[in-house]
Amino acid sequence: MPTLKNLASQALGTTHNRIFGLDLLRAVAIFITVYGHAVMLVPPAYQSWHNLPVSAIDGVNIFFVLSGYLIGGILLKALLDEHKPFALGYFWMRRWLRTLPAYLVVLGSVAAVWALQGHLPAEVWRYFCFSQNLLAPHPTFFPEGWSLAVEEWFYLLFPVTVLVLAGVTRSRRLAMAGTIALFLLMPLVFKYYQYQQGKGLDAALWDAYYRRVVAARLDAIALGVLACYLQHYHAGLWRGLRRPGLVLAVGLLVVTFLYPKLGPHMLFYNVWLRPLLEGLTVLLVLPFFSQLRYPHYTPAMRSITLLSLISYSMYLLNKSVLIKLVLEPLEHSVLTPHLGAAGWLVAYGLYWVLLLGGSLLLYTYVEVPFMRLRDVFEKPKPVTSTPDLAAVSR
């Protein structure tokens, strides 16, 4: 049986076609996310110190913008030729073979455990069509599902909207620009409606009513598509932002970090300002990081790339499976009774070991086989020149 070290080497394979800068951003995003969730294993006295290093930006926002940027590249390349039809079904097939298998394996496993415990919610069926948080707060079951629903609905609706507008305007470029604008505007309208209805006005409820609702978050992925659009149609501006964009992004990060400590209007910040600042921060660093390639990788760079590759599996496993079903029960029933105050340290260490090992296994034996299955299907001519950029990990 192959060891985890062998599986890691197999997963990395060759790195010559990879963009290290995007892998680095994805690795940072998943670390921020799983590190932030690890606070659930930390005693309350240490939680504020634990989360301080990752308090300036939401890792999921990085994923959203990255995802939009990469999928936007696929859409733009497929739509470039005005005279060729866009194979929408093929686009969805490749997307779903990338995301659904691991999602269904983990969701099914968690649902089975909840069912055995007699706690399976009646609305579990919604998770199989990603309708659990379309317009309303996400249920407590399988909380990771909220961001996956945002992505799946974006990739269902965005290309359809582009094609509809292309039929009206007779210009795919204009249709793409119009769709980006529409998807940036719609969440603002929805959030304004929520605000007028008095929903989520309590500072403790903004996360449920705004951050984790599909209709309120489509703009984050649209920012990534906007980045790709700028790179393609405004290449001079894009190149000019490589280094100035980094400076501007640092400035936005400082504002994002300091505003909660200085500003009294936290609801305005959380609902309107923070998502925009975080999304723009990622967009501004993309001109630099999207060009960051290396012909030879150091061991540290290979580790970062591996973290990027298994990031989707890490996202799926970290909270509902490892923390809620494994480590919290283990800490309360075994570790704390036998080790006392040191029990949480053991649980915390196990979290990282099990997360990395389990994610590598899920990636190797579930994600990779289905990604290879995509190549079994004949590639239609309309997207012959489209590289496989859809390996977007959560």
- Structurally, the chain folds into a number of domains equal to 1
DSSP, residue by residue, 302-318: HHHHHHHHTHHHHHHHI
Could you tell me if residue 128 is inside a domain? yes
Give 342: exposed, middle or buried? Use CB within 10 Å, 0-12, 13-18, 19+.
exposed
What pLDDT is stored for residue 387 in this prediction? 36
Inform me whether the pLDDT recorded for 379 exceeds 60: no
Question: If you average pLDDT over residues 149-177, what whole number do you get?
Answer: 93
What pLDDT is stored for residue 390 in this prediction? 39
Reported confidence tier of residue 383, pLDDT bands at 50, 70, 90: very low
**SS3 state of residue 131:** coil
d(CA 277, CA 23): 22
Inform me whether the pLDDT recorded for 75 exceeds 60: yes
Could you tell me if residue 388 is inside a domain? no
| Helical residues (DSSP H) of 13-58, grouped into ranges | 20-37, 44-51
Residue 371 belongs to domain spanning: 4-383
Question: If you average pLDDT over residues 172-193, what whole number do you get?
Answer: 94
d(CA 278, CA 256): 7
pLDDT, tens digit (0-9, with 9 covering 90-100), for 348-365: 999 999 999 999 999 999
Could you tell me if residue 393 is inside a domain? no
What pLDDT is stored for residue 391 in this prediction? 40
Could you tell me if residue 392 is inside a domain? no
What pLDDT is stored for residue 107 in this prediction? 97
pLDDT, tens digit (0-9, with 9 covering 90-100), for 3-62: 777 777 777 776 667 899 999 999 999 999 999 999 999 988 888 888 877 766 889 999
What pLDDT is stored for residue 46 in this prediction? 86
Inform me whether the pLDDT recorded for 296 exceeds 70: yes
Question: If you average pLDDT over residues 203-210, what whole number do you get?
Answer: 82
Question: What tokens appear for 378 in the block?
Answer: 């004949």
Could you tell me if residue 367 is inside a domain? yes
Query: Can you give the pTM of this predicted structure?
Result: 0.91
**Least confidently predicted of 73-77, 176-180, 285-289, 310-314:** 73-77
Reported confidence tier of residue 157, pLDDT bands at 50, 70, 90: very high
Give the residue, 147 or 78, on which the prediction is more confident: 147
Reported confidence tier of residue 384, pLDDT bands at 50, 70, 90: very low
Counted residue by residue, the chain has a size of 394
Start-to-end CA distance of the chain, whole Å, equals 28
Other C-beta atoms closer than 10 Å to the C-beta of 335 total 18
d(CA 88, CA 161): 11
Residue 92: alpha-carbon gap to chain centroid: 18
| Helical residues (DSSP H) of 80-144, grouped into ranges | 88-116
Could you tell me if residue 65 is inside a domain? yes
Inform me whether the pLDDT recorded for 168 exceeds 90: yes
Could you tell me if residue 134 is inside a domain? yes
Inform me whether the pLDDT recorded for 66 exceeds 80: yes
d(CA 326, CA 344): 13
What pLDDT is stored for residue 264 in this prediction? 64
Residues 288, 3: contact at Cβ < 8 Å?
no
What pLDDT is stored for residue 254 in this prediction? 87
Question: If you average pLDDT over residues 92-119, what whole number do you get?
Answer: 95
**Least confidently predicted of 46-60, 93-107, 115-129, 300-314:** 46-60
Reported confidence tier of residue 126, pLDDT bands at 50, 70, 90: very high
d(CA 73, CA 61): 18
**88-97, 231-240, 268-277 — most confident range:** 231-240
- For the chain, percent of residues with pLDDT exceeding 90: 62
What pLDDT is stored for residue 257 in this prediction? 80
Could you tell me if residue 390 is inside a domain? no
87 to 113, 188, 291, 382: CA distances (angstroms): 39, 31, 28, 7
Arithmetic mean of pLDDT over the chain: 88
Question: If you average pLDDT over residues 68-80, what whole number do you get?
Answer: 86
Question: If you average pLDDT over residues 278-296, what whole number do you get?
Answer: 94
